[in-house]
Structure 1
Amino acid sequence: MLSTISGDNIPTCGEPFLFFPLEGRNKVKRNLLKNLATLAIAGVLAAAPAWADSFKRTHEGETYKDFTLSTLEGEAKALSENLGSEGTILAFFATWNSRSEEVLSDIQKLHEKYGAKGLSVIGVNVEHAEWSPEEEPLIRKAISDAGVTFPVLVDKDFTVYNDYGVIAVPSIALIDGSGKILRLTTGYSSTGKYEFKDSVESVMGVEKKPVVAETKGYHPDTMALRNGKMAERFFDKRMYARAEKYALKAIEIDENYVDPYRLLAKIYKEAGMNDDAMAASKAADDIERALKANEQGIEKQPAEKPDDKNDGGGTSTKPEKIEKPHA
């Protein structure tokens, strides 16, 4: 059974875009996007905070830097004594930053899901460079609001903050079971948060199961699926330029993957570009039709019939000739 479709395996019914090769699709995409070099729709697009690969004084691949800080109750905890057997999340946050609440909530969910499986989660509050007793109730409220049950330490004089070279809050470090830093995320943007979660799941040995396409016999490329999911997430957040970027990336990886085409149709419809939306939708319909036709051709083999030229009474199973598609 074929996993991808190309060339002579594709049926045609004479329509110009029944199933077009990659170069043809690129031409269609260029036509669709000729007025969308930058999809800037006033009042709709939202810019996400910057995402960075590293802190100022800490880099991925390095061994973690040990430290000892205390909780609000005064209990001292060393990082080295609280590492998880599979991985450790080290999250720097401050109550005055709105995204810190989201970080605490998200990593609490990871703590609940993987804490018993070897993942350690540690929060480090970096409220201000000079500690004030008035900050304690604010920190306690943030911990309570997020339902935090993992240890939260307080870096009262920014010693650890400066040692790690944290450049903004919230910032998160993911440490693997051997003590090496796998990922550093600064700002916790929409892209960064999902990539960080994927990294955590990878450390915990979670295997991503590819989504099986509706059409039997065809499975979208795993990376195409990932980009497609990112596109959907950005679309849900009304971040259409980013959604378009990831949808096109998914198509570039796997041109037979229908969902990104349908998402592009939605994006262009939201932008008021009805002709482009219709073109993207038609491309999706045509590709899906060809995939289904190909699958039916695979499952339903031509019936054997006597071969008049075979004196021995044998049979011929040669299928009828399939025309090539129109580019």
Structure 2
Amino acid sequence: MNGCRKIAAAGILCLWAFSFPLSASSFALRGMDKGSRVPDYEFVGVSAGGGKLSSFAGEKGLVVIYWATWSSRSPDVLLFAEKELRRYEKMGVKFLAVNADHQEMKAEHMAEVKSAVAKLGLSFPVVLDAGLKVYNEIGVISVPTTIVLDNALKIIDAYPGFPSAARDDIPDRIDAFLGIVKEKRAEKAQYLLDRKPKNYALQYYNLGKRLFLSARSSSGDLKGIPEAALERLDEAIRRDPDYFRPYLLKAIVLDLAKSNGRREAAIRELGKRDFQEAYERRMLGFGYLYLGMDNQAADCFRLLSSQVSGDPGALFGEAAAAARRKEGQAAKRALSELAKIPGAKESLGFDYASLFTDSGELAKGTEKALRAALDRLLEIEKPGVR
């Protein structure tokens, strides 16, 4: 369950990285917040014996890594823990990998897990979350997820996925837990910028986008399916399967064209990918809002805010998703944090406050304005249409 949640641009986008406290709605777990105590669950052993969660903790605490064999990022985070993070063991922090492959684990599934553990050469304990009981109760959204617990099993932090920034971010969060004072590292811009696609995929994406925009009416609608645009987007995907934008735009084009069957197929294709970078989650969140998939959008923005705090786009997205889901208090919290950011309105390019009521609902008659705002954020505005 990756990307934002696996259920199932020409321009470069930069995320803001201010340091405002994260709201509860921004935490990487859906079922628990920072400071919550995790029950002393029992786990089934894979690489060694099982036992209660507390039996795996060190003197200071425990780092729990939820992973799965079907998750393309899981081997990276497990090897990173094995080779780089185990230095924290001498400081009293132990490590535990919890497999979440399937709710019902058959013999062949267990064999796959054991084979993966052996291939990776993991020397710290690996256990199984039987029936995904703990996974569901604590509300894991992204796989992998790294959870830092103290020795009383209180949640200190949780980090979703394993994007590029994780190799710095995860150690930073463990250091903060242990009280290790480090010189504040400069933001690494490459973590916050759109990746450069391979094999001329960007050119095909841009051509597909231009053909799509020319096919839109003056009101921004589509009266038919712009097959030429879709052909270019498919070619962009073929040239670089790891480039997220053509997948998303393809789903949006088919949504606007009201081609429901092909829209659903495009969404399934998007959902199979493992997009976890901050800029990917940001744009996917806007895209899911555009498609009316508000639960998926909410997960994207929750995970993004767990990685990068104080981004105006993420906070706006959180507010919009919460308002659509009738969660007024959550929308108000996100809007309150957004209002603290100097220049947020200018960064977004529209008056976000006018879209919401004081109670955190979407104001009446603003759906068209919200769609226009998402057009802008997704960089798919038709020139001259606002």
Which TM-score applies when normalising by structure 2? 0.42
Give the number of the structure whose residues are more often helix, by fraction. 2
Larger relative CO (CA 8 A, sep 6+): 1 or 2?
Answer: 1
Which TM-score applies when normalising by structure 1? 0.49
